[in-house]
Chain A
Amino acid sequence: MLSPERLALPDYEYLAQRHVLTYMEDAVCQLLENKEDISQYGIARFFTEYFNSVCQGTHILFREFSFIQATPHNRASFLRAFWRCFRTVGKNGDLLTMKEYHCLLQLLCPDFPLELTQKAARIVLMDDAMDCLMSFSDFLFAFQIQFYYSEFLDSVAAIYQDLLSGKNPNTVIVPTSSSGQHRQRPALGEASMLEGVEAALFYQRLESLCDRHKYSCPPPAFVKEVLSNVQRLTFYGFLVALSKHHGINQALGALPDKGDLMHDPAMDEELERLLAQVPGLVNPVTGSPEASSLPSRTTPRVGSPWRPLHHTRKMDAESDGSTEETDESET
């Protein structure tokens, strides 16, 4: 009901903590770009709509990347918008490539950097075979971690590299139980066996990182949980574990649990209402939830508003998932 610590903060810190000035500044920029709107509706109305859209999280749609990543709320809103807009991709069980997901992201944010999509895809694909197909939910949860905790992960990557190179002497010490089995192997084999870094050491470094990190980082308790389950792990192993962690997803608050990802009755209803208005598209079968939760191949595709996408998808399947640049959004 009350969080008294906000009352004790100095004014400036309170405003900064909640990014009030960021939004006020942006509101003014938007106002200057839409001067004709204010002569029609008035300034108060303009600001009302602006701040309401910030509350609802629709303010990030079609905005520039620098704004989308400016605050944690913007990032969460973007993740939510991405999920809600392209949920049907997952529902139909379509698998897309990294480049295709990138195109979807660019529909919502035209200057979305490719590098970030690549990084997210690397989490799913464990850093190899970057042209593989990914399911919507795998990509979404990996993307969530990568996008929301971007700066944190950069620091984590640096720490990981540090441990990997600097602390190499440690990695030579092999636990006795496994050393017996593998003694005959060459040293190189042993090193590759011991992929990654020691989890406990890694956690120590991450703990202090979380303490002093000025950007958002995942709740330290969950990081600890992830790292205490294993002896050693690789960087991508760590990211995969983060992306699959329910607690982190919940704490972040942008997306539902993985099981509920395709479940959004209000949105389904809205979609159906819209589809009903399009002559020639109506297909009674799509309406029932049973039908829509089936694997894609049996679902009638006519009912989906993302028809162009499905066409490409079919072509893709024929060409055996190759990743020629598909212009699905041009049709």
Chain B
Amino acid sequence: MAALPAPLPSAKMAAVEKRRPAMVPAASFPDGGRPAVSRAAATAESEEDFLRQVGVTDMLRAALLKVLEARPEEPIAFLAHYFENMGLRSPASGGAGEPPGQLLLQQQRLGRALWHLRLAHHSQRSAFNTNVGVAYECLSAGGRRKRPGLDGRTYSDLLRRICRDGEAPEEVVAPLLRRIQCRDHEAVPLAVFRAGMLTCFVLLEFVARAGALYRLLEDPGLAVADRRVGQAVLDTLEGALQAGDGAPARYLEAGSRLGPDSLAQALDRALGARRPSHPMTREEFLQKAAALFIAKVKPVG
């Protein structure tokens, strides 16, 4: 009996139930748990047919391709998520009943688009771009009462959802949304959609890293950072970002400005030059860091 394992607590009870079979002498065990194995040779062909007929073969091939395309850090979790989404899409699991309302349909579309967008990290640009394309198609498909094409409202909804799920504080990402949102009634072309999605994901990662940086600066007891230190880091970052405009050679310069040496110098100067004032909170730090990033984003329209 190799049924699908249940979550632990109930499995534990199952362990109690299974005591008896466990006491059977070990000799009878090979194959005991898997009756299919002994028949395998004879039925291999029919099993292959079966798998092909019910669509398992195609389904797994598609899943494997997605895994290879996205190269996720944890492919098994990725697969679980992949099949879960597929299950939600198929009518079988939706249950019989009246067709879902317009609002629900819209939610489903958003969910599906989000799922595609998250399949690959934005640094894997070609996989990410493919997925952005698929998400765009998902959202702009026509329906019974929906004309084909993507409007500004749906696009803004999606941006807000991504930011919300990205766990970045609202006031931090709000300026970005103001910059890259479209008007509700506007049609959103693919190029704008792609740029918007990419910017949004990059900003979220930027904010996450800024958060990690803040944790390093933070006084563990007080949960706030020294303003002089925080400001010095932000100033260094700003300087580097300004230097980084243009030719690739200048990226190197920007990188060296952020290197440990120059950062340490900046911190040193800051601590020496100014007197301590009121501390800097996490929100303030993130907001200021994000503002540096957002200033570089070209507004839509």
Contacts and interface: CB of A to CB of B under 8 A. Distances in A.
Interface residues of A, number: 63
Interface stretch (B80-88, B214-222, B227-235): B80-88
B96 to A, nearest CB: 14
A43 B55 contact: yes
A15 B65 CA distance: 11
A64 B32 CA distance: 9
Contacts of B29: 64, 110-111
Contacts of A34: 3-4
B4 A30 contact: yes
B112 interface: no
A61 B33 contact: no
B35 A33 contact: yes
B278 interface: no
Given A18-B75, A55-B77, A62-B2, A42 B93 contact: yes
A44 B13 CA distance: 27
B90 interface: yes
Interface string A97-116: 00000010011101100100
B8 A62 contact: no
Given A3-B73, A55-B77, A62 B1 contact: yes
A42 B14 contact: no
Contacts of B24: 110
- Interface of A (DSSP majority class): helix
- Interface of B (DSSP majority class): helix
* Interface size, B (range): 35 or more
A110 B32 contact: yes
Contacts of B77: 51, 55
A274 B23 contact: no
B123 interface: yes
Interface of A: 1-3, 6-7, 11, 14-15, 18, 20, 23-24, 28-35, 37-38, 41-56, 58-64, 73, 81, 84-85, 103, 106-108, 110-111, 114, 267, 270, 274, 305, 327, 329-330
A61 B5 contact: yes
Contacts of B143: none
A55 B78 CA distance: 10
B83 A44 contact: yes
Contacts of A47: 59, 63, 79, 83
A110 B22 contact: yes
Closest 8 CB pairs of A and B: A51-B80, A44-B87, A47-B83, A111-B29, A58-B5, A48-B83, A44-B86, A48-B84
30 contacts: A1-B209, A3-B73, A7-B71, A11-B68, A18-B74, A29-B36, A31-B56, A33-B34, A42-B90, A44-B87, A48-B84, A50-B4, A56-B8, A58-B6, A58-B8, A61-B6, A61-B11, A63-B33, A64-B2, A103-B22, A107-B18, A107-B19, A107-B22, A110-B22, A110-B24, A110-B29, A110-B33, A267-B9, A274-B9, A330-B19
